[in-house]
Amino acid sequence: MAGRVALVTGAGSADGIGFATAVALAAAGHRVAITSTTKRIQDRLRELGGEVAGHMALAADLTDEKAVGKLVAEVNGRLGKIDILVNNAGMIQTGKKERARLFQDIPTEEWLRTLDINLNTCFLVSRAIVPQMVRRKYGRIVNIASVTGPMVTNPRSAGYSTAKAAMTGLTRALAIEVAEKNVTVNAVCPGWIETGSSSKAEIIAGAHTPAKRPGRPDEVAAAAAFLASEGASYITGQTLVVDGGNMLQEFKGPPGKGRLS
């Protein structure tokens, strides 16, 4: 795996999946570029070892096509052509308030914004980088989707579910187009993962998985790092679920009264 150039989006949170993935790729010997919407990304760069270690960080709004183009150009100029792309940006942007609503109550502007953050960021960054991967006949794209949308869903999450389901569709559509160029495109679908933004209810849900705990960001990062490796060269267009076995169980309530077995 060593010696590649990787770009990880949505890596601003110290205890998030994006930064955990950046750490895993850096540990494997890659030069890693990280990005988020705020300047806190510079704090993550210092934790990675800084520019002296061969890494870089830039704040960018990945819903802006021009900003994406500038980001990719800067990474190419400072680290080299991008071999690995991890599309993790999404969920909620720092400084933007999100409100859970029933489907019929979602304002059009809010619906489009949710798709913009969770789906179009993946589209814009991938589209900007795929041509160089195809020309060089090497590339690994890993999209961090979710079980929410592609496999399951929750009330008041229609926008997020739709975007993440579409991300797995995009994964397959792109994978089939670039497979003969030695470019793989896969998705990781996390379940209940404990991060700094996890709610109390999400932590409780994680405790009721078969593993009896929520997952850790580094456990999702390990899956992403594998799919980004040269060893995953014959895996493409797939979704890898990281959820502690939660998809396996039909009964997801607390133990005790009401259990089916």
Distant-in-sequence, close-in-space partners of 258: CB < 8 Å, separation ≥ 6: 251
CB 142 within 8 A of CB 183: no
The one catalytic residue among 36, 160, 163, 221: 160
138 is catalytic: no
Q: How far apart are CA 75 and CA 66, in angstroms?
A: 14
- Would you list the DSSP string of 237-253? S-EEEESTTGGG-S--S
In angstroms, rounded to a whole number, what is the distance separating the alpha carbons of residues 214 and 205? Answer: 8
Q: How far apart are CA 3 and CA 41, in angstroms?
A: 22
Residue type, 191: G
Amino acid of residue 53: A
The rounded distance, in Å, linking the Cα atoms of 201 and 209 is 13
What amino acid positions are annotated as catalytic residues? 160
